[in-house]
Amino acid sequence: MATIYSPLGDISGSVGNLTFSKRNGQNVLGQKIATNTSNTPAQQETRAKFSLLSSLYKRMAAAVLLGLKASGGASGYNQFMANNFDFVSVDAQMNATADYTKLELSEGAVLEVAGLKGVKATAAADTVTVSWTNNTNGNSALGTDLVNVVLVKKTTGEVIMSLGAKARSASPLAVQDARLAGVATADVQVLAFAQRADGSDASPTTRIVASVS
């Protein structure tokens, strides 16, 4: 940017990539900032991944905010996007698909939920019974830790959650929702993590696919 003197008085407008304007009573010469309109396949793929993850975050936000605490200037949203970026694939038509068997909704020093199971009696059933092992140790795993459960219908990405309804020592948990009726058992992804009762920390995410009782 440069300040110029013109015997013709005030100058404004553009010539090529140069722009003339007036600032603090002086004529100022600046350069236009070019707009990046490139749309390479790699850029399209990245945008498709971010679009899908952003949509997933909106559906899972209540759980993610319990499992991924803001840290080092990174919000729960930013951590969710970064942690799961590599678990999204994009086909030749730029359709993005998430690998729900790898999604990370949480992290921390709390001991993970162990022995996780999700049972759906029949495809017609509207309930998934989620159970886990009481692995309380008085340190990294407390009996008062709360267990958060997220069910994902893999073919549609629809999310059903039960957050903090049961403690680590109080398995099982029956998650009932009309949206589960008619869903094939193998289409239900179960994700769970524990968190301190005061919300101060969480465990890594445990994942399994629902099974038939």
Backbone angles phi, psi at 179, to 5 degrees: -70, -15
- Write the burial class of residue 210 (CB in 10 Å: 0-12 exposed, 13-18 middle, 19+ buried): buried
Question: For the segment 27-63, what is each residue's pLDDT rounded down to a tens digit?
Answer: 555 665 656 667 898 999 999 999 999 999 999 999 9
Question: For the segment 65-84, what is each residue's pLDDT rounded down to a tens digit?
Answer: 999 998 888 999 999 999 99
pLDDT of residue 201: 97
Question: For the segment 139-165, what is each residue's pLDDT rounded down to a tens digit?
Answer: 999 999 999 999 999 999 999 999 999
Question: For the segment 70-129, what is each residue's pLDDT rounded down to a tens digit?
Answer: 888 899 999 999 999 999 999 999 999 999 999 999 999 999 999 999 999 999 999 999
- Which residues are CB-contacts of 79 (< 8 A; sequence separation ≥ 6)? 68, 71, 107
Report the distance separating Cα 84 and Cα 54, nearest Å.
11
pLDDT grade for 10, boundaries at 50, 70 and 90: low
Provide the residue ranges of all domains of the chain, joining segments of one domain with +.
Answer: 2-31, 41-209
Token couple for 57: 């975050």
Compute the radius of gyration of the chain from its Cα atoms: 26
Helix-strand-coil split of the chain, %, nearest 5 = 20, 35, 45
Mark out the alpha helices in the chain (DSSP H runs): 41-67, 76-84
pLDDT for residue 6 is more than 60 = no
Instruction: Specify the fold of 41-209.
Output: Immunoglobulin-like (2.60.40)
Among residues of the chain, what percentage have pLDDT more than 90? 77
